[in-house]
Amino acid sequence: MCDPVTMAVLQVGAKAMEQKEKNDRAAAVAKASKDAYFIKSKQSNLRLLQEQNKASEIKQDADLKALKAQGTALAVAAGAGVQGRNVDQLINDFERSEGVMTARVDNQLKGMQAQNEMDKLAFQSEAQNRINTNPPPSFAESLFAVAEPLASYKLDMDEKNAQRSYDTGAG
């Protein structure tokens, strides 16, 4: 069996390693949580960017369609010798329908942007929750974990000294 000093040193070393492992584990969880948050946020932003590009294409297509319809209407009206208010109303109808389509796409895009922001907040909250469930040990916890074997060694030594004093009759 080892002497009491060696036992105390081994216990202190074991406790110190245990605290280091806890710190390392907490740091690994924090890093993994932050990495997951950034990856999820990046994916969400990429998805939104793709939707913005799609919306832009839809709006450009609607604009092009309205311009073609206006050109066709003007050409037919000019070929038939028709002009005036009815042609202007027809052109305005094409522009209005293109504007309605653009407004719908814009509203849908605003909703997607708001959802993206909410998703990113959820990702951040999830990461923070993971970090909080596995916190690193506090300084005091580490100190007491390492000091406990030393204190028990001191108590053991005091008890042994008292026992020796009693056995020898000194005291």
pLDDT score at 55: 94
- Which letter does DSSP use for residue 171 in this model? -
Taking alpha carbons only, the member of 8, 103, 35 closest to residue 63 is: 103
Is 98 in contact with 66 (CB distance < 8 Å)? yes
Q: Model pTM?
A: 0.62
Token pair belonging to 86: 């009815």
Token pair belonging to 170: 């000194």
Domain map (residue ranges) of the chain: 13-133
Question: Which pLDDT score is estimated for 35?
Answer: 94
As a whole number, the mean pLDDT across the chain is 82
Residue pLDDT, tens place only, 16-54: 888 888 889 989 999 999 999 999 999 999 999 999 999
**Predicted confidence (pLDDT) per residue in 72-112, tens digit:** 888 888 777 777 777 788 888 878 888 888 999 999 999 99
The phi and psi torsions of 30 (rounded to 5 degrees) equal: -60, -45
How much of the chain, in percent, has pLDDT values that exceed 90?
36
Lowest mean pLDDT among 104-108, 114-118, 153-157: 153-157
